[in-house]
Amino acid sequence: MIDMNPQPAASREPGQPEPDHPEPGERAPELGWPVGVVSERLAIAAPTLRSWDRRHGIGPSLRTRGNHRRYTELDIRRVLLMSRLTAQGVPAQSAADSVLAMDSQAIAERLEGDRGFAAPGEGDGLGRVPGPRGPGEPGEPREPGVGGARAGEVEGSEQDATDLVEAIVGAARALDPRTMALLYRQVMRRRDVGRAWVEVFAPALRRVGDLWEEGRLGVQSEHLTSELLQSELRAVVRANRLRVAGVPVVLASADDEQHHLPLLALEAELARHGVASLFLGPRVPSDALVSALRESQPRAVFLWASLARPQAEPFWRDLEIIDWPLEVVIGGPGWPDGIAVPEGPVTVTRVADFGAAVTALVPRPGASVG
Ligand code: B12
């Protein structure tokens, strides 16, 4: 239950546990967000949020009866501005004093003016695609989905993209995770996840792959590049978790196919569009995939293959048992031409790039999404 009477943040008993997520039976997002959700949304560590609340008064205006923090949308904007100011070098107490002296209008204007700038590690708390869900305070605009530069935001240039690719490859060679993580953040700050993938991440991966093939870079560099990228892409998915709806689209890599970064990029982009995914990841055995399809009855499945697949494999034959209109979308250089699919309600579409995959998987306006 939410106590609507604002209480001083410092009134919580020290040492009392505070859940990061709503308590059982409590639908907190109607009225305020728990620390854990705010932390995910803004990519600011929960201990930092608690410390800003305790030490500087930049915290939630609401508390549950159990005295757990609940942030309103205005509180979240205050936190976001606090993070921007401290990242610009303003000492924490001065930043807090400025933020607390501003009304909601001034905070909105300041954040608007600061769009081109975001703190290192800060989630894009504002750059979002408008979406159907998400709480808002009465009279406030709904918060759209996280993980994208907002229209009007300073966009990354082509040159910027080339430099970022080179810098990422350099960090991979030097096995420098800190620089690589900062570069990934920089990429995401100016681009939505789709553009980030197409303009920077995929070219960087291909370059890393080429250098590995030429023996000029070790597989450990490839692992570092992809592991950190996975976290980055998953953060977008997590931040949009509360927005996705409908029968999930199935995302899987083919049998024995370990590469699955394109699936993660797709999952993140689909989440931004409010489309749910059933993410099965790498190396999905053919029979397991067919079982998953039968259980979840999706309208579409996306299958990735980097490595060459045989012309005929059991999966295509097994599709015989599918008795609803299923769109099988295949992507990646591994798929051969001329795949033979049994007669029936299944259609197979081959897509050549990320944008085409997104177009094929996001439901057309007016289409039933189950
Ligand atoms: C990261 C990586 C790994 C990681 C995978 C991590 C992960 N979680 O995915 C690790 C280290 C585990 C790995 C392992 C292996 N890898 Co590897 N790997 C890569 C690397 C660098 C990126 C993979 C990737 O995400 N590619 C996706 C995009 C970025 O690349 P692309 O497919 O070429 O993009 C084209 C299109 O597909 C399209 N596109 C781009 N993005 C998207 C997105 C969508 C949705 C769509 C539809 C299209 C699309 O645009 C491009 C234009 O042509 C590639 C390099 C490469 N070029 O792919 C090698 C690469 C795929 N790997 C390769 C190899 C050989 C292997 C191993 C067999 C090595 C080994 N001996 O163990 C194993 C595979 C084991 C297995 N059974 O699968 C080779 C494959 C060569 C081949 N065709 O057979 C590559 C090409 C490297 C190379 N240049 O030689 N790998």
Q: What is the mean pLDDT of the chain?
A: 81
pLDDT number for residue 98: 85
Is a pLDDT exceeding 70 seen at residue 336?
yes
What kind of fold does domain 2-113 have according to CATH? Multidrug-efflux Transporter Regulator; Chain: A; Domain 2 (1.10.1660)
Q: Give the C-alpha separation, 184 to 102, whole Å.
A: 32
Number of residues that this document lists for the chain: 370
Assigned CATH topology for domain 158-237: 1.10.1240
The span from the CA of 204 to the CA of 163, in Å, is: 10
Predicted local confidence at residue 150, as pLDDT: 41
Q: Say whether pLDDT at 22 is over 60.
A: no
User: Using one digit for the tens of pLDDT, what is the confidence trace for 286-317?
Assistant: 999 999 999 999 999 999 999 999 988 989 99
**Average pLDDT, stretch 182-202?**
93
- Return the pLDDT at 33: 86
Instruction: Provide the pLDDT confidence category of residue 110 given band limits of 50, 70 and 90.
Output: confident
Query: Which tokens go with 165?
Result: 């690719």
- Ligand 1 in reach of 201 Cβ (< 6 A): no
pLDDT at 370 over 50: no
Instruction: Report pLDDT for 43.
Output: 80
- Mean pLDDT across 257-273: 97
pLDDT digits (tens, 9 = 90+) for 130-187: 332 233 332 232 233 455 544 334 456 666 888 899 999 999 999 999 999 989 988 9
Torsion of CA 320, 290, 233, 108, to 10 degrees: 70
Determine if ligand 1 sits within 6 Å of the CB of residue 53.
no
- Structural domain spans, the chain: 2-113, 158-237, 244-361
| Res 367: pLDDT | 60
Q: Is there a shared CATH topology between the 2-113 domain and the 158-237 domain?
A: no
Whether pLDDT at 258 is above 90 = yes
- Whole-angstrom CA distances from 278 to 132, 221, 232, 249, 302 are 20, 29, 19, 6, 10
**Residue 22: CB within 6 Å of ligand 1?**
no
Specify which of 41-45, 138-142, 156-160, 322-326 reaches the highest per-range mean pLDDT: 322-326
Least confidently predicted of 51-60, 92-101, 115-124:
115-124
Residue nearest to atom 56 of ligand 1 (CA): 206
Could you tell me the distance, in angstroms and rounded to a whole number, from the CA of residue 251 to the centre of ligand 1? 17
Task: Confirm or reject: Cβ of 258 under 6 Å from ligand 1.
Answer: yes
Topology of the domain comprising 244-361: Rossmann fold (3.40.50)
Q: Taking residues 65-94, report their average pLDDT.
A: 85
Report how far residue 257's alpha carbon sits from residue 262's, in angstroms, rounded to the nearest whole number.
12
Give the model confidence (pLDDT) of 202-253 as tens digits: 999 999 999 999 999 999 999 999 999 999 999 999 988 888 888 999 999 9
**pLDDT at residue number 143:** 35
Q: Which one has a higher pLDDT value, 182 or 119?
A: 182
Q: Is 75 exposed, middle or buried, given 0-12, 13-18 or 19+ CB atoms closer than 10 A?
A: buried
Q: Cα(first)–Cα(last) distance of the chain, in Å?
A: 32
Q: What is the pLDDT of residue 355?
A: 97
Q: Give yes or no for a contact between 169 and 207, defined as CB atoms under 8 angstroms apart.
A: yes
Using a pLDDT cut of 70, give the percent of the chain over it: 77
Q: Above 90 in pLDDT, residue 40?
A: no
* Ligand 1: residue whose CA is nearest its atom 38: 353
Q: What is the number of alpha carbons within 13 Å of residue 364 lying toward its C-beta?
A: 2
More confident residue, 368 or 52: 52
Indicate if ligand 1 lies below 6 Å from the C-beta of 199. no
- Full 3-state SS string of 80-118: HHHHHHHHCCCCHHHHHHHHHHCCHHHHHHHHHHCCCCC
DSSP letter (8 states) at residue 125: S
pLDDT at residue number 152 = 38
Q: Per-residue pLDDT for 9 more than 90?
A: no
Q: What is the best residue among 306, 327, 330 to mutate for testing ligand 1's pocket, by most ligand atoms within 8 Å of CB?
A: 306
pLDDT grade for 121, boundaries at 50, 70 and 90? very low
Mean pLDDT of 331-336: 97
User: 93 vs 115, which has greater pLDDT?
Assistant: 93
Tokens at residue 168, please?
């990422």
